[in-house]
Copies of this chain bind each other. A is one copy, B any other.
């Protein structure tokens, strides 16, 4: 459709995100060559079986040689290591980008190692599922989803435009903000929800009065909605927590404060306070549906899906 945009793309990391990029690039013919790299031999072998690229190399340094676009899709905690590895072999004029969920930390880890001759442009496609690994990716993952860029001051506009066109070709809607604001926004729309989901599933798992089999058996009453997020990749989420600490702690503090207020209202039987909150939150759901950010099918449409 769009035609070849890059002679050679190097994908460092080939999990859910990396492998979805690979599938789209291949399907759309956006590159002549797709070099796939993973530090895990097993993952790399699987990527090859799935025919996600045109060549497969264990060494990230090797992978980026002569690449016009380098996409780093690794847990954010591994960013600095990757930056150090690839820096010496990057081709002058290459665009180097990432897909990490935290931006200030990734910039702090990668920018100091990037040679002057390349365009380092941090990015974050807001797309994914609770599955991970090269098998989890699919064509169209980024379709209609936002991709946020947090370019550094002095970024070459032409390189930025090229990168934006690339993501637009994958179906993404493009946005731009500064890294600090990105990290705050993501802390509330993504990081806090995941942490809360992990936490409640942990709490339920630890009960003595209610058995785990009861929790599972009756989970359709609400609990299961949390288990999807709590099934996300542990390495990725450990790294997000460690690398967006300040914004996450701020959101957690607010959440806990609000929960204490709610708890007190329950203890003292203050029905009107509960009713006020429970009414207000309905409007947020409505806005999300209107913005086309969720499907308006009751129960996430599971009823239609689980006709077994």
| A245-B269, A294-B220, A302-B295 as given contacts; A284 in contact with B214, CB under 8 Å | no
| A190-B222, A223-B189, A298-B129 as given contacts; A199 in contact with B262, CB under 8 Å | yes
Interface flag for A87 (CB, 8 Å)? no
Give the A interface residue count (CB, 8 A): 112
Cβ-neighbour of A198 out of B136, B140, B251, B278 (below 8 A):
B278
Cβ-closest chain B residue relative to A269: B242
Cβ-closest chain B residue relative to A145: B220
Cβ-neighbour of A266 out of B245, B269, B293 (below 8 A):
B245
CA distance A219 to B294 in the complex (A): 8
Shortest beta-carbon distance, A223 to chain B, in Å? 4
| A207-B188, A258-B203 as given contacts; A274 in contact with B217, CB under 8 Å | no
Whether the Cβ atoms of B305 and A201 lie closer than 8 Å is no
Whether the Cβ atoms of A255 and B219 lie closer than 8 Å is no
Whether the Cβ atoms of B297 and A220 lie closer than 8 Å is no
Q: Mark A240-280, 1 if CB is under 8 A from B, else 0.
A: 01100100110110111011101101110101001101111
Whether the Cβ atoms of A224 and B302 lie closer than 8 Å is no
Cβ-neighbour of A280 out of B202, B229, B245 (below 8 A):
B202
Cβ-neighbour of A259 out of B199, B281, B300 (below 8 A):
B199
A interface, CB within 8 angstroms of B: 77, 126-131, 136, 140, 144-146, 181, 184-186, 188-207, 209-210, 212, 214-232, 234-235, 237-239, 241-242, 245, 248-249, 251-252, 254-256, 258-260, 262-263, 265-267, 269, 271, 274-275, 277-282, 284-288, 291-295, 297-306, 308
Q: What are some 25 contacts across the A-B interface (CB < 8 A)?
A: A77-B271, A126-B220, A126-B221, A127-B220, A146-B220, A181-B209, A186-B221, A188-B207, A188-B210, A191-B222, A192-B200, A192-B203, A193-B225, A195-B262, A198-B281, A202-B277, A205-B280, A205-B281, A215-B284, A227-B284, A228-B294, A249-B266, A249-B267, A252-B259, A301-B305
Other CB < 8 Å A-B pairs besides A196-B196, A230-B285, 6 of them? A196-B226, A197-B281, A222-B229, A242-B274, A249-B266, A301-B305
